[in-house]
Amino acid sequence: MNSPYSFSTRLFLLFIAILLLIYFARIFSLPESWGDYGYYRGDYIDEEASKAMVYGGNDTCQSCHEEVYTIKKEGAHKKLSCELCHGPVGEHVEGKRYIGELSVERGTKQTKMCLRCHQEVTGRPETFPMVDAKQHLEDEKVDASNACGSCHTVHEPLETMRYVKRLRTLREGLDDDDE
């Protein structure tokens, strides 16, 4: 081993070579936007932000279903999102194209949906309108096979109740007159 360079020079050159190797390996292997904002790929932020939405919001629904929206916006359910019961608009339209039907639940399925919020269970705040479905039907003296939708219109649940109350008051008044 008769090298013209001394041991320390060779060691130094080797060190430089390794440094250069690391430097170029870094350039080739790191993504372009790496380090734009920190030790991560900066482009990912916009990639995440560009993901497609599935839920649209009530304005989206209103643009086609104005009539139901008008009923709902006055009622006790005015604050609810349409998509809460019907499912996301992203499964219903894509661009302007109709791609699928959203659920319009009736009967027991609808009851299940109502009781998701209105079933009387431990933990719910007492101020929230809750019922024990079975007990409620008994209290109101109606057949146990009835679903919530039999009496309540879901988009404005108290609409029919108001009529019932008015009728009851009228009947009471008539009864009083008879006496």
Partner 1 sequence: MTTMNDFMRKLIVSDDTIAPKEPQYRHIEQEMIDRDRRGFIDKIMSGALGGSLMLVVPMHSELFGELLSEEPTISLDESKKKQYCFIVDVTGCIGCGACCVADRKENNVPEGQYRTWVERYVIDMLGEVYVDSPNGGEDGYSESRDDITNEIKDSYFVPKLCNMCDEPSCVQVCPVGATFKSPDGFVLVDNTHCVACSYCVQACPYGVRFINEQTKTADKCTWCYHRVRKGKEPACVAACPTGARKFGDLNDPESEVAKIYHSKALLSVLKKEQGNDPRLYYIGAGQEVI
Tell me: does residue 144 bind partner 1 (CB under 8 A): no
Angstrom distances, CA of residue 119 to CA of 58, 70, 126, 148: 25, 27, 12, 12
Candidates 64, 63, 55, 59; CA nearest to 85 is 55
Nearer residue to partner 1 within complex by CB, 45 or 167: 45
Q: What φ, ψ does residue 125 adopt, rounded to 5°?
A: -60, 140
Task: Kindly indicate which of the ranges 8-16, 84-92, 102-110, 147-155 contains the residues binding partner 1, using the contact rule CB under 8 A.
Answer: 84-92
Tell me: does residue 105 bind partner 1 (CB under 8 A): no
Q: Where are the alpha helices (DSSP H) in 2-65?
A: 7-29, 43-49, 58-62
DSSP for 92-127? TEETTEE--PPP---HHHHHHHHHHHHB--TTS-TT
Could you give the CA distance from residue 91 to residue 168 in angstroms, rounded to a whole number?
44
> At its nearest, how many Å lie between partner 1 and the CB of residue 62?
9
Applying the rule CB under 8 A, the residues between 8 and 67 that interact with partner 1 are 34, 37-41, 44-46, 48-57, 59-60, 63
> At its nearest, how many Å lie between partner 1 and the CB of residue 139?
18
Nearer residue to partner 1 within complex by CB, 31 or 173: 31
Q: What φ, ψ does residue 62 adopt, rounded to 5°?
A: -60, -35
User: Looking at 26, 106, 109, 116, which residue binds partner 1 (CB under 8 A)?
Assistant: 116
Nearer residue to partner 1 within complex by CB, 83 or 156: 83
Q: Which chain residues interact with partner 1 by CB under 8 A?
A: 34, 37-41, 44-46, 48-57, 59-60, 63, 79-81, 83-84, 87-91, 93-97, 115-117, 119-125, 128
